[in-house]
Amino acid sequence: MASVSGMRGLFAGAVIAAAALFAGPTTAVAHGGVALEQDECVLRIGPNTMHFIGYQRSGEEAEFCEDIANTGPTVIALTAVSPDLRDMAIGIRIVKDVGEEKEKVDLDAVTVAYIAPKVYHNGAMTFEHDFKKAGHYVGIVTVRDDLGNEWVSRFPFSVGLYTFWGMIEYILYAVGFVSLIGLMWWTLRATARKKPAAGDAIA
């Protein structure tokens, strides 16, 4: 049977491991046309894919691929994964999330940023936009080949809003961390109680 000191060592090691897990790299619950694959945000558009990433310079620089924590200047970069995209025109429009029906009525009225389709032979498109208002938005990425074929991918995201789904991962980490501490504490106490009982039996 393990000694109390041994159990304490195991307990300390588990706490350190759990803390490292809790503070480690995060993954996101994907929605829209964006998915998280091997720690990279991948935007699917028709038969093609591209990496999608953004970051903000204000305060501590933080990357994101969906919901943006704060308002302010934000850099967004799209990088072609599929080689065919290097010969296609890539454009993006960011609109307020008012629903597709209202959006179609007056697209310009709900547009907050627009980069016209253009061919990027290096496969990378980068632009900066200053989000002045918190709220829900939709990114609309368009790619067009030289034959006139066009594909569109939409992905909703929020700016400056703390949503349940945006915090769910941290909640799960916290629950797991607290549960692990509780389990190890219970095991340690159970072991400590059994040791005196075993000594009394021998006596």
Residues 54 and 144 in one domain: yes
What integer pLDDT is reported at residue 108 of this predicted model?
A: 94
Residues 9 and 77 in one domain: no
pLDDT in tens, 150-172: 999 998 888 888 655 455 555 66
Residues 60 and 117 in one domain: yes
Residues with Cβ < 8 Å from 43, sequence gap 6 or more? 33, 34, 49, 50, 51, 52, 78, 141, 153, 155
**Pairwise pLDDT comparison (60 vs 142), residue with the higher score:** 142
Residues 139 and 58 in one domain: yes
Measured distance CA(120)–CA(118) in Å, rounded: 6
pLDDT in tens, 119-135: 998 989 999 999 999 99
**Pairwise pLDDT comparison (192 vs 9), residue with the higher score:** 192
Which domain covers residue 150, as residue numbers?
31-161
- Residue 30 — very low, low, confident or very high, per pLDDT cuts 50/70/90? very low
Residues 74 and 157 in one domain: yes
Residues 86 and 173 in one domain: no
Q: Vertex 67, ends 62 and 71: CA angle to 5°?
A: 70
From 41, 129, 35, 51, select the one nearest 85 (Cα to Cα).
51
Residues 18 and 39 in one domain: no
